[in-house]
Amino acid sequence: MDHFTYKDGLLSAEDVNLADLADQIGTPFYCYSRATLERHFRAFDDALAGLDHTICYAVKANGNVAVIKTLAQLGAGADVVSGGELMRALKAGVPPSKIVFSGVGKTQTEMAQALDAGIYQVNVESEPELVALSEVAAGKGVTAHVAIRINPDVDAKTHAKITTGRAENKFGIDWDRAPEVYARARDLPGIDAGGIAVHIGSQLLDLEPYRRAYERLRDVALGLRAQGHDIRRLDLGGGLGIPYNDEQAPPPAEYGAMVKDIVGPLGCHVTVEPGRLIAGNAGVLVTRVLYAKDGSTRRFVIVDAAMNDLLRPALYDAYHAIVPVTEPAADAERHPVDVVGPICETGDTFAVQRHLPAVKPGDLLAIRSAGAYGAVMASTYNGRPLVPEVLVSGGDHAVVRRRVEAEEFMAFDALPPWLMD
Ligand code: LLP
């Protein structure tokens, strides 16, 4: 459920109509709804009620400081994967005691940043990384609180590019090597490995893979405890899927009940790292139709947004619903069109043979479910401006990242001496 609905014939984010916003801001732009972000956070938090837990919002899904701060005010922590994301979380006011640092290739500089900030936990994914963290922590005379990410070898049944829990994926240590790795961790200076982490992939629509991964996690925890390790923290990762089209996503309450059932009895503090679930359906990308062009086999609707603004369709063949900002008549005829951007490659396609009501140049379209992995994956490819972001709250709105124009980022280029006139 989100807060993007037609009001007086115009698609609105809460009480702000997107046509007015487009006139003020220009297109394309992302628009997020505060009420939707809050609703999704609360639904997930409620689902885990009764369990000692922290929701560490996965900043990679939407790292806008205003978005993070909206969630932090509700009590969210943050899951970060780089020094840059750590800075964003801190700037948004997330307490360091609620920040976990994930990722398969943290540099020692990033480890130092994390330790200096005093974050809750570093999720370590390999023995070399453990040794590197030990060096940094011991050098500073501090203890790094560590969860070791195990790879449970479970198929999450999602897109191959976002599945992470199979033995052939680069993530975590093989689950059956946990005793060896925790024994090694115990001997390393500056390391307190009191946690276990798992994350099997993103956009999961089935709870069964979670069940298998969490049962494995529980068994590993029990085994480690039997060997004398003080396991008191579990990180269950993120990945819960959302409806982009007509998929049935598992209700957070069912996920929560499963979590409580499997890991509740361990009595650990539990962190979870949802990103898409919170931000995905809390954002749209608003774009204007530039041209409609009839090819010999199909009609192309050419819009002013492109794959540099929203990469998911080009990268994962992802489906995003597309709706006109002006509400079509209930009986409006729909015809198949390809919705494409202006970039010089065929992959710059948002929808193929999508049945849309007739649109003409100047009309506005909203590409839905674009709040997660949208603006964060945007680039300036083809010399295009960096897309702006707007946050709506009730009848108010604010530009939370302005458009970055081509001449501004061109200023980062520098000529070598031999090309100077
Ligand atoms: N925790 C870890 C360790 C992760 O790697 C991820 C996502 C998350 C949490 C958050 O997952 P979520 O709840 O958002 O599914 N760009 C892709 C998604 C990449 C996800 C990477 N890891 C897409 O647009 O579908």
Contact 390, 16 (CB under 8 A): no
Whole-number pLDDT of residue 161: 85
Q: Does the annotation count 31 as an active-site position? A: no
d(CA 345, CA 1): 34
Which residues of the chain form CATH 3.20.20.10? Answer: 103-272
The whole-model pTM stands at 0.97
d(CA 18, CA 364): 9
Got the DSSP string for 48-113?
TTTS-EEEEEEGGG---HHHHHHHHTTT-EEEE-SHHHHHHHHHTT--GGGEEE--S---HHHHHH
> Which atom belonging to ligand 1 lies closest to the Cα atom of 61?
14
Q: How far is the CA of 275 from the centre of ligand 1 (A)?
A: 7
Which protein residues are within 6 Å of ligand 1, measured from CB? 58, 60-61, 79, 102, 162, 199, 202-203, 237-239, 273-277, 312, 316, 372-373
Which residues of the chain form CATH 2.40.37.10? Answer: 4-32+280-410
Nearest CA to ligand 1 atom 9: 238
Give the chain's length.
421
Nearest CA to ligand 1 atom 22: 202
Q: How far is the CA of 239 from the centre of ligand 1 (A)?
A: 6
> Which atom belonging to ligand 1 lies closest to the Cα atom of 315?
24
Residue 26: both structure tokens together:
């220009």
Residue of 31, 56, 268, 344 with catalytic role: 344
Residue 349: both structure tokens together:
């396609």
Q: Digits of tens for pLDDT over the chain (421 positions)?
A: 799 999 999 999 999 999 999 999 999 999 999 999 999 999 999 999 999 999 999 999 999 999 999 999 999 999 999 999 999 999 999 999 999 999 999 999 999 999 999 999 999 999 999 999 999 999 999 999 999 999 999 988 888 888 888 888 888 999 999 999 999 999 999 999 999 999 999 999 999 999 999 999 999 999 999 999 999 999 999 999 999 999 999 999 999 999 999 999 999 999 999 999 999 999 999 999 999 999 999 999 999 999 999 999 999 999 999 999 999 999 999 999 999 999 999 999 999 999 999 999 999 999 999 999 999 999 999 999 999 999 999 999 999 999 999 999 999 999 999 999 8
Within 10 A of 30 (CB to CB), how many other CB atoms are there?
26
> Which atom belonging to ligand 1 lies closest to the Cα atom of 237?
1
SS3 415: coil
Whole-number pLDDT of residue 5: 98
CA dihedral over 297, 298, 302, 305, signed as positive or negative: negative
In testing the pocket of ligand 1, which one of 85, 161, 164, 202 has its CB within 8 Å of the most ligand atoms? 202
User: Helices 108-117 and 127-140 meet at what angle, rounded to 10?
Assistant: 50
- Beta pairing partners, 173: 150
Q: How far is the CA of 123 from the centre of ligand 1 (A)?
A: 15
CA angle 257, 221, 187 (to 5 degrees): 150
Whole-number pLDDT of residue 195: 98
In testing the pocket of ligand 1, which one of 60, 159, 203, 376 has its CB within 8 Å of the most ligand atoms? 60
Host H or E run for residue 41: helix 34-47
Show the 3-state SS of 263-308: HHHHCCEEEECCCHHHHHHHEEEEEEEEEEEECCCCEEEEECCCCC
> Which atom belonging to ligand 1 lies closest to the Cα atom of 280?
14
SS3 118: coil
Q: How far is the CA of 33 from the centre of ligand 1 (A)?
A: 21
Q: Does domain 4-32+280-410 have CATH number 3.40.1360.10?
A: no
Whole-number pLDDT of residue 141: 98
SS3 248: coil
Host H or E run for residue 35: helix 34-47
Q: How far is the CA of 47 from the centre of ligand 1 (A)?
A: 20
> Which atom belonging to ligand 1 lies closest to the Cα atom of 276?
14
Could you tell me how far CA 195 lies from the centroid of its own chain? 23
Contact 37, 43 (CB under 8 A): no
Short-list 125, 236, 231, 111, CA closest to 177: 125
CA dihedral over 20, 26, 29, 32, signed as positive or negative: negative
d(CA 348, CA 359): 19
d(CA 97, CA 366): 38
Q: How far is the CA of 122 from the centre of ligand 1 (A)?
A: 17
Short-list 290, 300, 295, CA closest to 361: 290
CATH topology of domain 103-272: TIM Barrel (3.20.20)
Alpha helices in 141-234 (DSSP H): 178-187, 208-226
In testing the pocket of ligand 1, which one of 166, 217, 276 has its CB within 8 Å of the most ligand atoms? 276
d(CA 248, CA 29): 28
> Which atom belonging to ligand 1 lies closest to the Cα atom of 203?
15
Nearest CA to ligand 1 atom 24: 373
Nearest CA to ligand 1 atom 19: 162
